[in-house]
Amino acid sequence: MEKSNPKALLPIAVFLILYLGNGIYFEYISPSEGQMGFYVVSVVLAFSIALIVAFLQNRGQSFEEKISICAKGIGDDNIVIMLFIFILAGAFSGIAKAAGGASSTANLLLSIIPGRFAVPGLFLIACLISMAMGTSVGTITVIAPIACEVSKNGGMPLALTVGVVVGGAMFGDNLSFISDTTIAATKTQGVEMKDKFKTNIRVALPAAVITFIVLIVYAVLSKGVSLGSFDYNIWQALPYFVVLVMSIIGLNVFLVLMVGCILFALVGAFTGSLTYASALASMGDGIEGMFETMIVTILVASIAALMRENGGFAAILSFIRKKAKTKKGGMLGIAGLTAFMDIATANNTVAIVIAAPIAKDISTEYGIDSKKTASLLDTCSCIAQGIIPYGAQLLVAAGIAQLTSFSLIPFLIYPFVLIVFVIISVLREKK
């Protein structure tokens, strides 16, 4: 049994002080116009310094031995697979955006929705687009401007129309097969994406249905809205639906992403939205957009390996054992740990990568199904990320709508309903 050593958790404490501390200072104490405070200090820099701290610990090991420990952590099969998927997901995201897929899909769905049901329609569209795109921030970037127009035309609260978009974006981010959170949660726990999806949707779908019903009631009680007209190209939207279907039926994620890239390249050439050069450039840009996530994954894998070796994970497990005596307690421990890491890092993928190895140990300790653990990791990180006012999702949405991120929080119906269903799912778990 590994020896518990709370001091081995110092690298995480250093990271939190550097990232969260500076973020709070530059966001709320000494803000600069046009600068997001939580992005002043790069998450890569903060983790790099934390890794240095990890290397300075445990003087009983040589530098070469510590390098070997890091190499084994980085070389884990699941970490390598995750890195490769990030590359493909970046290429897919880049070419899909350049081909006009996201905007055409959103506008196609908007053209079908009756004006009276604009608000629940925005929620549904955000759910579908984020599932197809695999990114909540990308979805918000595409749909939030439309939500602003809907608010303006219909005289509805701007915070409401934008807030429901954020909620829908988090639904898809949580369930999408090509989302980096799904990739991180499944690969770190060694489960199939389709199995995690089946487990996840039992919690996420009821929460989404309740949210949709609430919005339908609001729509019935409010007056109709003039949505205006939106241009779309059915061919540019088609690849997203193909990718969505392929993902849901459980095809290999590598195959899904490669087929998606090929389809968007062909559609882009057919509709004139892409040339050979722009298709290559867009895929390259998309991959570059994943670089930070990949570097953070490598750094966190190294830090986690050293912390585990030094007894840090054993210390966390010891704490959870004192507080949680049952399987349900272990599941609540995973949920709380993941949410805390997201609140601290303001990045749901990073939160999962940090919490995942500890969650895996908790699962083994309490006999928790790996599919359930992966679902808890993804869901709880997305809940926290969809609520914190300094996360990229709310900051981007607030920036587009010219509102404060705090003003959106009361209208984040889906994340708050999802919390209730997560708790219910844990309480219903058999002993």
Mean pLDDT score of the chain: 83
Q: What is the structure's pLDDT at 109?
A: 67
pTM of the prediction? 0.71
Residues of the chain with pLDDT under 50: 1
What is the SS3 assignment for the chain?
A: CCCCCHHHHHHHHHHHHHHHHHHHHHHHHCCCCCCCHHHCCCHHHHHHHHHHHHHHCCCCCCHHHHHHHHHHHHCCHHHHHHHHHHHHHHHHHHHHHHCCHHHHHHHHHHHHCCHHHHHHHHHHHHHHHHHHHCCHHHHHHHHHHHHHHHHHHHCCCHHHHHHHHHHHHHHHHHHCCCCHHHHHHHHHHCCCHHHHHHHHHHHHHHHHHHHHHHHHHHHHHCCCCCCCCCCCCHHHHHHHHHHHHHHHCCCCHHHHHHHHHHHHHHHHHHHCCCCHHHHHHHHHHHHHCCHHHHHHHHHHHHHHHHHHHHCHHHHHHHHHHHHCCCHHHHHHHHHHHHHHHHHHHCCHHHHHHHHHHHHHHHHHHHCCCHHHHHHHHHHHHHHHHCCCCCCHHHHHHHHHHCCCHHHHHHHCHHHHHHHHHHHHHHHCCCC
Q: Are residues 290 and 135 in contact, defined by beta-carbon separation less than 8 angstroms?
A: no
Q: What is the structure's pLDDT at 346?
A: 65
